Structure formats: structure tokens, C-alpha cells
Amino acid sequence: MAVGIFDSGLGGLTVLNAAQKRLPDVNFLYYGDNARAPYGVRDAEDVYQLTKAAVESMWDKGCDLVILACNTASAAALRRMQEGGLPKGKRVLGVFVPLIEALTERQWGDNSPPREVAVQHVALFATPATVASRAFQRELAFRAIGVDVEAQSCGGVVDAIEDGDLILAEALVRSHVDALMRKMPHPEAAILGCTHYPLMEEIFQTALGPQVKVFSQGTLVADSLADYLQRHPDMYGAGEGGYFTTGDPSRVSDRATQFLRREITFQAA
């Protein structure tokens, strides 16, 4: 059995790591489109076509359920794939909904009408493509009313993380936080709307200040996945788990090992 986790690059490893800890008996198949990362600077059609091809490859490898751990893919491709019709027995889920359910303090699967929630001022840090899509705001509107969202496009952060230049990534994060707080001086909560950003979570928190609650996706998505699999035990899939990349397997393995601090070995997709 294997549950698929897809990302444009290495960021989805933050979700994978949390999912493996939460669900130690589940095999996971990770697929990184590192050769074409980052997705955050691509147009929506390009992201859709790349995501669709990757997900189909994961289905061919035995995954019935694929999590789009890439926020840009979730923003640009998820709804279109779902509305276009999926093969029988296949499912694709994104990462926005678990985050929004945590932010609005709603139970997983709560489809009641939107209502007022405690948090009124939210900072969203995301890639340019995710910000342009307004997908987060659209999903939030299904669950909450009266929430002011200020989005900050964080250009360059993903590239720096993928290149292993964490000093540059830290400097960029601080710059983007400064830019957002000039527009929204007192956010109550901050959404790290890219799965690469949890690698910089401490930097975001320090720059924002202790009064801002930072929502990061790894644990939230893992908990939501555990709940989903409990309700849908037929979605565990078949086939073997493993790590696949469209990039250079040796280089990607080295970066992944550095990020997760345990040996990760990728093979060519």
C-alpha cells in the first residue's frame, strides 16, 4: 500500500516527515518535480499540466490517494482536476483545507455555512502563483466571514531553500515579513502557505513576534490525512513506497538528507 505525496521540489518533505511520524504503518510514495521547480513563478496552465502529469505517474505507481503538498499546485490545479473528473477509485487532496480548518477552529469535514471566527487579521505568506490565484481566500470564504487576509508574495525563498542557501532564505524571509507588516502592522495569525516555509518557521516567528500565531502545514495535514484514512480505509492504495524525482537523484538525495537530517535516497521518476 502507498499514499502519494507530491511537491514541485523539496518542500513537501515537511509534510511527508509529519505524515510518517503520525502514520508509521503507512507506506508513502514521494514524488518531487525538482527538474521544473519552483512552480511558484509559473502560470496556472503550466502548473496544472505539470501537476496532472505527475499525479498520473503516481497513480501508475500504485497510489490511489495523492496529497498535493505543493501549495501552488493546490491553488492552480486541484479544483480543476477534481471538477474534470478523476479515474474511478482515485482521489487528489490539497493542503489548504486542513490549514483553514485549524485557523477557523472547525472540525475536519465540517461543511456548515461560513461563520464569524475569532481571528480577524491574517497574514498569508506564499509563492507569487499562490498569491495571484487567491485560492486561499476562496477556500477561507467557504468557512469564515469577516476575515481580513493580507497576502505577501515571497519571491526567491523557495529558490534559496532548493539551492541549500539558508542564509539567503533567512534574509528574504525577514524582508518579506517587513513588507507585509507595513501593510498589516498587527496580524493575529500568519499562514505559511508553502511547504518549503516550515524549514524557516523559526525565522518567520521571530520576525513576526511572539504575539502572532504561526500556522504551518506539516502536522495539520498529517492529522487531517489520518482522519481521512480512518474514514476511507479503501484509499491506502497498492504498490511500494519510495522517493522519486525528475531531477538529479544524487543531488536531490543530498538536499533531502540535509533537510530531514536522516538519509533519504531518491530514484529517477
| Active site members | 70, 194
Assess whether the previous peptide bond of 38 is cis (omega < 30° from 0). yes
Within 10 Å of residue 132's Cβ, how many Cβ atoms? 17
- Distance between CA 260 and CA 41 in Å, rounded? 25
**Strands 242-245, 148-153: pairing kind:** unpaired
Strands 115-116 and 144-145: parallel
Are the C-beta atoms of 164 and 255 separated by less than 8 Å?
Answer: yes
In this structure, are residues 256 and 250 in contact, taking their beta carbons and an 8 Å threshold? no
**Backbone dihedral region of 223: left (phi > 0), alpha (psi from -120 to 50 degrees) or beta?**
alpha
| 89-102 core/surface letters (b: 16 or more CB in 10 A; e: else) | ebbbbbbbbbbbbb
Give the single-character DSSP code of 77.
I
Give the three-state DSSP class for 81: helix
